[in-house]
Amino acid sequence: MAARTLATLEERLGAAQYQAEQETDRAARSIARLLIQALMKMLPTACARFGPAEVVDVARAVLPGLRQEPRIVVAVNPAVAGAVEAELAHLGDDFRDRAVLAPNAALAPGDVRITWQDGAAARDTADLMQRVGALFAQYGLLDGLLDGLRGAPEAGAAGQ
């Protein structure tokens, strides 16, 4: 009788442990999904807000290495063009003659596309969002979240 009682108790404890593990997993996924949803809603706004400084940082990092290129095109949102123009001026007149600043209203204020003969460099909010989403999707954490995020502010509209 005692052995049967112990076996029943062990079985019930095992089932309770399994159920507790399942509930813990569900709670952890729920918290992760909530945090991901907040991140995915805030990221475009943060990119728009802090993007102009990042655009200048990207230009500062990439452009000096392109001194030998015959032609460079730097596409940015018109709101950021002045800051990038100043960065181009720091590189000297000979460089400035080969670098074309191409304001493009279709780009988010935090985006930049630098192209040259054999290459390109970019800071792209939409691409960043897609990569972050793909990372979370690998773990099944985006199921149904993207539909709820469709109302998130566009990167280009934030902070204007």
Q: Are residues 111 and 152 in the same domain?
A: no
Q: Are residues 132 and 111 in the same domain?
A: no
Please tell me which residue, 151 or 27, carries the higher pLDDT value.
Answer: 27
Percent of the chain past pLDDT 70, that is, above it, reads: 88
Q: Are residues 96 and 146 in the same domain?
A: no
Q: Are residues 95 and 130 in the same domain?
A: no
User: Is residue 136, in this structure, part of any structural domain at all?
Assistant: yes
User: Is residue 104, in this structure, part of any structural domain at all?
Assistant: yes
Mean pLDDT value of segment 144-155 = 48
Residue with tokens 């990221």: 43
Mean pLDDT value of segment 34-52 = 78
Q: Are residues 96 and 78 in the same domain?
A: yes
User: How far is Cα 39 from Cα 41, in angstroms, rounded to an integer?
Assistant: 5
User: Is residue 3, in this structure, part of any structural domain at all?
Assistant: no
pLDDT for 153 beyond 50 = no
pLDDT tens string 61-90: 898 999 889 999 999 999 889 888 988 888
pLDDT for 152 beyond 60 = no
Q: Are residues 143 and 111 in the same domain?
A: no
User: Is residue 44, in this structure, part of any structural domain at all?
Assistant: no
Q: Are residues 113 and 131 in the same domain?
A: no
Q: Are residues 119 and 129 in the same domain?
A: no
The whole domain housing 149 covers 125-160
Q: Are residues 111 and 130 in the same domain?
A: no
User: Is residue 94, in this structure, part of any structural domain at all?
Assistant: yes
DSSP string over 38-69: HHHHHHHHHHHHHHHHHHHHHHHHHGGGGTT-
